[in-house]
Amino acid sequence: METNTAENVAAAHAPMLTSREERGRQIAKLGGIKQLGSRYVVPSQSGATTAYFVDIVEECCNCPDWELHGRNWQCKHVHAVYYAIAWSADVDANGTVTQTVTVKVKRKTYPRDWKGTNDAQTNEGPYVERLLQALCEGLEEPARKPGPGRPPMPLHSLAFASILKVYIGKSQRLVQSDLVDSVAKGTLDRVGHFNRISDFLGEEDSTRVLVKLIEESAKPLAAIENAKGQFAIDSTGFSTVTYDRWFDQKHGKLCAKHPWVKLHIVVGTATHVITSAKVSPEGDCPVLPELTAQTMKNFTVREMSGDKAYSSKDNREVLDRVGVAAFIPFKIDAVIDPKREVWSRQLCEFLFNQDKFLPHYHRRSNVETVMWMIKSKFGGSVDSKKATAQVNEVLAKCLCHNLCCLVRAIFTAGLAPKFWQEAVPAPTPRPTLTLVPMPEN
């Protein structure tokens, strides 16, 4: 009869290992793991000459498995390093642990101007309101037909009230008291009827106005972003208040569909400002040339980071043609195309220079940060019911985010933003001097 020894009890209560953890332990038992600073060289389990680099500070690996899943993922090589650190040479060939070795790893941190950050957040509201006033006053008033009746509300007042409503997060009725305070502070001319806010958001012409305001609000940060010229592109969805319900006769159940509004943006990785935005249900890949062209009007773009959804031969050729380095990973089934020189060259660089590619590619995490900033502060859904109003409400969220980035730059970088500045004309080329031979006497 088997007795309940200490080893049997411990084995019975031991946690179940995943397949990757088990393979990681097998790699660690084979040995050959070497430390190079904060990184470790892990030999391939297949016995080939290939080795992978594991960074325990950044918690990343350059193997295809980790690259496929991205962050918050631990491949078998990461498990092998952790197992080798924890038990190192104290594990015999049978996997028996004789002594525990504790290694404390210092996590990588980044410096931050906490005083400037605290001042920016505690004074954000008044600064956003004044910046929004200066931004909206530069709008060109549309031509109005003369006729009887009350004069219409100016465009800059309508835009100010609608965007401030999105920033505050109240309904168009509850925000009326805040607009009265804005009139008292001199940032708004007068308060119109609350339905004028929904009218402005529901007009198609307002989409053009909001896109123009987003681009103009990002211009003052060009001096900071152009230092490195690193930008990232991605898309996200915002839920709506409408949904469709129907009864599926084939499967005999009630079905529902919740529509989403899809936002495509390009952001600067230094200040998290949105340089170009488009609300469209189309896929990610086709919008890259358009958003890149909009960004290059006001910024110097040297690098563009994106996920595999933007990996296409046309996109890479477009970026290469304008001198932008594309840090976009290739899909697992990508092969060399002799007819596409740019595609083939970048594929070879991606496969054989992972150490240089990954640090630039992971600048893409900044655009994920921007998505989180917008949704956590201004909500991950839209309140409007009309399709055009939903598009304009999402664009208004992007504009509010840019204003917050400006306020942060005012307190942390000493920025003095000015809007609607005339573009500096390009210098006139000097005429070339032509030497004319002197006539002979």
HSE toward the beta carbon, residue 346, CA cutoff 13 A:
22
Tokens read off for 16: 């179940």
Q: Which residues pair with 247 in a beta bridge?
A: 254
Q: pLDDT value at position 234?
A: 96
Cα separations in angstroms, 270 against 17, 123, 130, 430: 40, 22, 24, 36
Measure the CA–CA gap between 393 and 165, rounded to whole angstroms.
10
Measure the CA–CA gap between 441 and 438, rounded to whole angstroms.
9
| CA dihedral angle for residue 125, residue 129, residue 131, residue 134, rounded to 10 degrees | -170
More confidently predicted of 242 and 156? 156
Confidence of residue 271 (pLDDT cuts 50, 70, 90): very high
Q: pLDDT value at position 108?
A: 64
More confidently predicted of 273 and 435? 273
Contact present, 176 and 190 (Cβ < 8 Å)? no
More confidently predicted of 19 and 398? 398
- Taking alpha carbons only, the member of 342, 346, 408, 341 closest to residue 373 is 408
pLDDT digits 0-9 by tens, 325-374: 999 999 888 899 999 999 999 999 988 888 888 889 989 999 999 999 99
Cα separations in angstroms, 92 against 97, 167, 245, 258, 311: 7, 62, 62, 57, 46
Measure the CA–CA gap between 259 and 238, rounded to whole angstroms.
9
Q: In what order do the strands lie in the sheet with 230-239?
A: 274-279, 260-268, 230-239, 303-305, 325-327
pTM: 0.72
Task: Please provide residue 406's backbone torsions phi and psi, each rounded to the nearest 5 degrees.
Answer: -65, -40
The region, left, alpha or beta by phi > 0 then psi within -120 to 50, assigned to residue 379 is left
- Taking alpha carbons only, the member of 99, 83, 98 closest to residue 30 is 83
Mean pLDDT of 206-216: 95
pLDDT digits 0-9 by tens, 154-202: 999 999 999 999 999 999 999 999 999 999 999 999 999 999 999 999 9
Measure the CA–CA gap between 78 and 170, rounded to whole angstroms.
47
Residue 247 has pLDDT above 90, yes or no: no
pLDDT digits 0-9 by tens, 20-60: 888 888 888 887 888 877 688 888 877 666 788 888 777 78
Instruction: State the SS3 of 21-38.
Output: HHHHHHHHHHCCCEEECC
| Strand ranges for 169-252 from DSSP E | 230-239, 244-248
